[in-house]
Amino acid sequence: MLATVPGVALAEPLPFDAAIERASQDAPSIQAGAAGVEAKRSAAVAAGRLPDPTLNVGIDNFPVSGPPAFSFTAESMTMARIGVEQPFPNPAKRSAQRTRAQADIGMAEGELAVETQNVRLETALAWIDLYYAKRRLAQLDRLIESLDDLQSTVSARLASGSARPSQALEPTQLRGAVNDRRSELAAEVVRAKARLARFTGDPDADVIGDPPMPEVDRASLIAGIPLLPRLKALDAGIIGAEADTSLARADKRPDWRVSASYGRRDPAYGDMVSVGVSIDLPFFAKRRQDPKIAASLSGETQARLLRAAAEREILATLDGDLADHEMHMQRLDNARKVLVPLARRRAELDMASYAAGKLDLGSALLSSLALAEAEVDALSREADVARDAVRINYTYRPITNGEVRP
């Protein structure tokens, strides 16, 4: 019942897995690819079948000169004819046509798998980006709340005469700088929501729950590379190129046709039946069939080389992504163990010095801002690690039954 009410079924925030599942089912590009696969399957039913028979109707031996000219009865050979002809392409050609049709299905399925993988990856990254953008925004909001408390402290000091009047402006000035940063993060939230809405179909897309942190294992990723959708599509392209070569070679084998006709003459004469067989004679193969075979062989070589080049590219890209992931993990570890603790300790010491009257408020506020920036930066580094793990697993792991293989 909820599904019949527009907007109701899509109103709740989505956990990570639910967002991926919804995008896999509802993305228009995936549905278009599925329709393309179905079209290729339907076309494959007719592949390799015998051509339709041909019906022949005509008049034979109709006189146009001499005494019987333009007479249907004066000439004994004149007759109305009806016949049928059935072509029989050679078996090798029909077999190659069936192989080509299956290769077309394989390529369409490969393209669908590639598109499914891309949609799942982009949905996952959009979810990660929205999750961490909201967390960074919440971090700045907590800083703004602390500035409100600090404003009350400054106001109390002004009332007691222990602070300069200009110090009352410093929290407001810092709040203005933080608001600029907050506007940037708010824009990131909107952009990430728009990307997530694009794939899930939810106009008010939102996230709930924690992001996954998939394990990144180079050995298992390398083992699964031959099964990646992109390479499987190229494998189907090789099969298609081989089928094209078989079709070109099959042209050197003769096709043949069987025909039969019935001729009706004047009742004074007897009717006639004709039966015949026609056979193609590929006598000039060097100028006709052989060039096509050579072209198909070149296309076959090209398909294999493209597949090899794609595998090398994937391996090189994987190593680069693994290096980036390792670098981002080290940066995150440095932020958590060094940068954020130092920034927090400095902010605490500066605020204590301000409270003791040993430091001006502006310096103390700058330390608080530096702490907030360090914490936001740590969240950005954590987001980089999560994005790397998700991107690597959703790019370099095969898809089985719509799911990334563990």
pLDDT tens profile 215-247: 888 898 999 999 999 999 999 999 999 999 999
Q: Are 372 and 144 in contact (CB under 8 A)?
A: no
Say yes or no to pLDDT of 214 above 90.
Answer: no
Return the sign of the alpha-carbon dihedral for residues 176, 178, 182, 184.
positive
Residues 6+ positions from 54 with CB-CB distance below 8 Å: 84, 85, 86, 87
CA angle 199, 201, 203 (to 5 degrees): 115
Domains and CATH numbers, the chain: 2-50+89-251+288-404 (1.20.1600.10)
Return the sign of the alpha-carbon dihedral for residues 61, 65, 70, 76.
negative
> What tens digit of pLDDT does each residue of 130-178 get?
999 999 888 888 777 766 655 555 555 555 554 555 555 566 666 777 7
What's the pLDDT score for residue 353? 85
Please state the separation of Cα 322 from the chain's center in Å: 22
Rounded distance between C-alpha atoms, residue 75 and residue 306, angstroms: 68
What's the pLDDT score for residue 372? 81
- Percent of the chain scoring above 90 in pLDDT: 52
| End-to-end alpha carbon distance in the chain | 35
What's the pLDDT score for residue 238? 93
Q: Are strands 403-404 and 272-279 parallel, antiparallel or unpaired?
A: unpaired
Q: Which residues of 264-293 are buried (b: 16+ CB within 10 A; e: fewer)?
A: ebbeeeeeeeeeeeeeeeeeeeeeebeebb
Return the H-helix or E-strand segment holding 292.
helix 289-334
What's the pLDDT score for residue 314? 94
Half-sphere exposure at residue 368, Cβ-oriented, CA atoms within 13 angstroms: 25
Q: Which residue has the higher pLDDT, 8 or 113?
A: 113
Token pair 């046709």 is at which residue?
257
Q: What is the mean pLDDT of the segment spanning 188-203?
A: 91
Strand partners, 357: none
* DSSP secondary structure letters along 179-212: HHHHHHHHHHHHHHHHHHHHHH--TT--B-SPPP
Quick check: helix, strand or coil at residue 138?
helix
Smallest CA-to-CA distance from 32 within 119, 123, 112, 114 is with 112
Please state the separation of Cα 140 from the chain's center in Å: 36
Return the sign of the alpha-carbon dihedral for residues 159, 166, 149, 358.
negative
Say yes or no to pLDDT of 364 above 90.
Answer: no
Structure token digits, residue 108: 């369409």
CA distances from 208 to 10, 53, 109 (A): 13, 64, 33
Smallest CA-to-CA distance from 33 within 107, 118, 109, 101 is with 109
Q: Are 126 and 192 in contact (CB under 8 A)?
A: yes
Q: Are 216 and 392 in contact (CB under 8 A)?
A: yes
Neighbour count for residue 155 (Cβ, 10 Å): 13
When mean pLDDT is compared across 5-14, 39-48, 81-90, 157-166, the lowest value belongs to 157-166
